[in-house]
């Protein structure tokens, strides 16, 4: 089952690259960084899905302790890969390259009421953080330790919830309602704080029912804490850039409106000061009156 998911991820990467090449071939702009980000997200996804819960499959990283290796896979799959996928804007690319029928269906899906609920920042943040607390602060992790299919389902849930949360914060795709910058920033701050508290709790005590070495727990918890902060800071920087860019666009629109209004007012004053040929102005009228006897 894991192999099938990895093949599907690879197919999505190939489809994205093909769509981007097609878009650029017809003369439309599509930054090269977006296909690179999407493929990097696919690589991190495959790495996170194929990593066993007691380490990583890559030879240089096999010496990592079990919990530290699992936490590295968690960061790659649940935080870094979603960020790379979202900044690549695959929905926008699909809407610009699909035929009319599938395009309308996709647009109706992303603007539907269920999608609006899933992408509401508080809901997305809650779904993302609660799943982590259930995984690491209940016996769930111990029960899943030797169940590969259940591990895969949990990993996919972490990936999808991470994508929904990142998309809700950045709001870079077409959606039914785009939340305000303040609400998105508050959701990001709350989720980052909750993630940090969870990492600190794991530093003190491991997941119930597990027997990781204390040094392994400390290293893995530190990786979770600081790695989560790095991804959170990246999201905050992107959100601040959006806010700054939107403010600049609003200022330019206001300047254009004021410029157009000023031009109309100046034109009306110039037009009103002109005298039509053959027309007598009030100052000229007394000189043209006939003299009285």
- What does the pLDDT profile of the chain (293 residues) look like in tens digits? 788 989 999 999 999 999 999 999 988 899 999 999 999 999 999 988 886 555 444 444 555 678 888 888 889 999 999 999 999 999 999 999 999 999 999 999 999 999 999 999 999 999 999 999 999 998 888 887 777 788 888 889 999 999 999 999 999 999 888 899 999 999 999 999 999 999 999 999 988 988 888 998 999 999 999 999 999 999 999 999 999 887 666 666 677 776 666 666 666 665 555 555 555 555 555 554 555 54
Neighbours of 58 (CB within 10 A): 13
Assess contact for 254 and 185: CB atoms under 8 A.
no
Q: What is the C-alpha end-to-end distance of the chain, expressed in Å?
A: 117
d(CA 123, CA 144): 26
How far, CA to CA in Å, does 77 sit from each of 14, 85, 152? 19, 11, 11
């Amino acid at each position: 089952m894991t192999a099938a998911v990895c093949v599907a991820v690879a197919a999505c990467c190939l489809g994205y690259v093909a769509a981007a090449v097609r878009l650029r071939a017809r003369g439309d702009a599509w930054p090269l960084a977006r296909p690179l980000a999407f493929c990097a997200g696919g690589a991190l996804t495959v790495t996170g899905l194929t990593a066993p819960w007691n380490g990583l499959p890559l030879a240089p990283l096999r010496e990592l302790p079990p919990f530290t290796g699992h936490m590295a896979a968690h960061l790659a799959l649940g935080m870094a890969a979603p960020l790379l996928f979202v900044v690549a804007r695959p929905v926008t690319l699909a809407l610009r390259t699909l035929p009319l029928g599938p395009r309308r269906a996709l647009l109706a899906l992303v603007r539907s009421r269920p999608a609006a609920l899933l992408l509401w920042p508080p809901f997305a943040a809650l779904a993302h953080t609660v799943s982590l607390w259930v995984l690491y602060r209940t016996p769930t992790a111990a029960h899943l330790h030797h169940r590969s299919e259940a591990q895969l389902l949990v990993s996919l849930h972490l990936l999808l919830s991470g994508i929904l949360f990142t998309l809700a914060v950045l709001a870079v795709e077409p959606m039914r309602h785009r939340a305000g910058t303040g609400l998105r920033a508050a959701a990001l701050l709350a989720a980052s704080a909750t993630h940090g508290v969870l990492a600190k709790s794991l530093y003190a005590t491991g997941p119930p029912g597990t027997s990781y070495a204390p040094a392994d727990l400390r290293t893995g918890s530190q990786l979770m804490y600081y790695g989560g902060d790095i991804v959170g800071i990246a999201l905050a920087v992107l959100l601040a850039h959006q806010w700054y860019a939107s403010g600049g666009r609003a200022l330019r629109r206001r300047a254009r409106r004021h410029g157009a209004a000023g031009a109309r007012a100046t034109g009306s004053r110039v037009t009103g000061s002109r005298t039509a040929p053959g027309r007598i102005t009030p100052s000229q009228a007394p000189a043209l009156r006939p003299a009285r006897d």
